[in-house]
Amino acid sequence: MIVSAQDVLMEHSEGFAIIESGVPMSLDTPCQIASMTKALVSVAAMQLVERGLLELDAPIDQYLPELAEPQVLTGFDSEGAPQTRPASQAITLHHLLTHTSGFGYPFAQAQVLQYFTATGMPEPGTRQAITMPLLFEPGTDWAYGVSSDWVGLAIEAVTGQRLGDYLRLEVLEPLGMQNTGFFAAPPANLAAVYSRLPEGGFANLPIFLGGGEFDSGGGGLVSTTRDYSRFLQAMLGEGELHGKRILEAETVALMQRNQIGELRAGNFGSAMPQLTNSFDPLPDQHCGWGLGFMLNPQSVPKGRAAGSMAWAGIFNSYFWIDPASDKAGIMMTQLSPFADARALKAFAALEHTAYA
């Protein structure tokens, strides 16, 4: 789907939401958007910064005492036990929104997987699953990880509301995103997740990222292509869509500005190849990171302009937002593992079509 701030420029759907029963995929099919949740939660956090309820550069442990006295992982002893030391500085909201906090993911960094292998793999959806030592001192490097889950918990701490309730009232309903939300169990009409079989065809994977102890700000939302395109339009519109404003224009501009200096962002490896391939969306560019989005410093051949915002979800869903050209695009699939070569090729074709 390709949109401008005011219009739908192209829409298309094909394939099946549920192969076994022949249910077709449509622009209104509910899908697990996984890490595309992060952008919406980042917007919610910046609303609270605008209102003075959160501060970008203040220690976040005043709202999240679990993050007081963070530890940095320094290695493992001869028996495999993790070794840590105290971090020299506190974690801030800025660190969390830019993925410079030091938090990782077990599927993306081998050290995080090794840590949980040594200490016991926690149940998904629990606070224990996002509680871990840091990979580095806050602010000194970039690593993709559970930071956005902690952002969601900070939102809950300062508002006294469940994350899903806050998002619904302050972001989703104003934008008309009626089919987006957190669910304790898979909705009846949710698209299934599939993996490719070596001999051809697909295998149904019983994966659901919702439920758990808290609403996952890092990856728990269900949405539709049409719903999410409305969010993309709001970001193209400097925080406003059809007369409904969710952010001030100055805040959107701040989110679109590189916040990590010379650090390189957007790429990560794979410690769990059954979940993800290694990912580097623009290997020829030294990408930065704003407050919730990857930023490309140069234009993409046949595609988005420099300074565009982009990211993805682990089931091979991808988007970009290009304010300079007033264009945004989204491709939603439910395919595992992430960074599937054919899915990436299809997304590139969508982008090329937008700028043809």
The pLDDT of residue 53 is 98
Domain coverage including residue 87: 2-355
Q: For residue 288, give the nearest of 256, 321, 320, 329 by alpha carbon.
A: 256
pTM greater than 0.85 (yes/no): yes
Give the chain's domain count.
Answer: 1
The pLDDT of residue 90 is 98
The pLDDT of residue 62 is 97
Number of other residues whose CB lies within 10 A of the CB of residue 51: 10
Divide the 356 residues of the chain into consecutive groups of 10 and give the mean pLDDT of each group. 98 97 98 98 98 98 97 97 98 98 98 98 95 98 98 98 98 98 96 96 96 96 98 98 98 98 98 97 97 98 98 98 98 98 98 98
**Residue 183 near residue 221, CB atoms below 8 Å:** no
**Whole-number Å distance between alpha carbons of 43 and 311:** 14
The pLDDT of residue 33 is 98
Q: Please, what is the Cα angle at 126 between 49 and 46, to 5 degrees?
A: 10
The pLDDT of residue 77 is 97
| 7 contact partners, CB below 8 Å, separation of at least 6 | none
The pLDDT of residue 272 is 97
The CATH number of the domain where 179 resides is what?
3.40.710.10
The pLDDT of residue 266 is 97
Burial class (CB in 10 A: 0-12, 13-18, 19+), 77: exposed
62 φ, ψ (degrees, to nearest 5): -65, -25
Give the DSSP H or E segment for 182: none
Q: Hey, which bits of 70-129 come out as E strands?
A: 71-76, 82-86
Q: Which residues are catalytic?
A: 35, 38, 144
